[in-house]
Structure 1
Amino acid sequence: MVARARRLERFLTQPFFTTEQFTGIKGKSVSLSDALDGCERILNDEFKDYPESDLYMIGTIDEAIAKKSGREKS
């Protein structure tokens, strides 16, 4: 349960346009439906095998999938 909550917390950290100059991470805009879809999928344990870092500072949940598949190809 704690791991799921931590993954959800990481997912909800979205890179903001206003902090781009400080973080060097391009800001992202995520629709409400995409955000809710990602939350639901995390709460349903679809991402239980993903490290928390894959969910941190991303836009949509599809970016976490891309991070993991990119790492596995390397």
Structure 2
Amino acid sequence: VLIQELINNVAKAHGGFSVFAGVGERTREGNDLYHEFIESGVNKKGGGEGSKAALVYGQMNEPPGARARVGLTGLTVAEYFRDQGQDVLFFVDNIFR
């Protein structure tokens, strides 16, 4: 809930962009977050124009090497939007999985 509130505030109140990197997330958790962003208007269905958050996941059932790269991939996405002049909020959950 806290993550959703912060991302919602960054998107709607400040016009910024958020990147969420889910390391070892459960499929259900990622799916729930995606649909909550659509319902709240932070993202458009299917992504693309008008979306204000990017979600990067490495599922629990993936090899450790793949999960380890999720944080770096999320950081690369955040750097891209920073370079485009956006204010960016970057979340990583859970770096220890």
TM-score of the pair, normalised by structure 1: 0.33
Whichever of the two has the greater Rg, that structure is 2
TM-score of the pair, normalised by structure 2: 0.26
**More strand per residue:** 2
**More helix per residue:** 1
